[in-house]
């Protein structure tokens, strides 16, 4: 039986930013936000759908922060509550990255990000039924290169 997700279970190897007590957002935090809004089963389905679309392996946990950012950006490109959850997590991820950069926090090494999959061709939706297209956000520069990984 799976354990209920908790924010504490999502503790990251990147650590907290001194003076802010802000921990790095994790894949568990994203899943927890999905679970709060959609329930456990639907949240799991949404999570695995995003991982499959982004080419992330199902059994790799925890995800590196750049991969968490990719998943949040994927949800931000959806509609309704998924868009709100994605945007909320992106704001948190970028806030963490900016504060970490300003504070000069040296992070513990995190797992390397997964390689981006080749885009699969998709049929063009009709103009009458196509949702508003939102391009995915570019990775935050502070997350792209982890200074402690070298």
Between 38 and 23, residue with greater pLDDT = 38
Q: Find where tokens 């402690």 sit.
A: 148
State the average pLDDT for the chain.
73
Q: What is the pTM of this model?
A: 0.60
Identify the pLDDT of residue 150. Answer: 41
> Residue 126 above 80 pLDDT?
no
User: Which token pair is 147?
Assistant: 């200074």
Q: Is pLDDT larger for residue 82 or for residue 134?
A: 82
């Amino acid at each position: 039986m799976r354990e209920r997700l908790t924010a504490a279970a999502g503790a990251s190897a990147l650590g907290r930013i001194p003076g802010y007590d802000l921990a790095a957002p994790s894949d568990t935090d994203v899943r927890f936000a999905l679970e709060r809004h959609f329930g456990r089963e639907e949240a799991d389905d949404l999570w695995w759908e995003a991982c499959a679309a982004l080419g992330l392996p199902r059994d790799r946990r925890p995800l590196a922060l750049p991969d968490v950012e990719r998943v949040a950006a994927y949800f931000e490109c959806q509609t309704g509550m998924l868009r709100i959850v994605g945007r909320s997590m992106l704001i948190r991820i970028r806030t963490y990255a900016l504060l970490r950069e300003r504070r000069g926090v040296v992070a513990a090494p995190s797992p390397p990000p997964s390689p981006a999959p080749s885009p699969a061709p998709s049929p063009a939706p009709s103009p009458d039924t196509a949702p508003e297209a939102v391009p995915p956000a570019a990775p935050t520069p502070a997350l792209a290169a982890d200074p402690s990984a070298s």
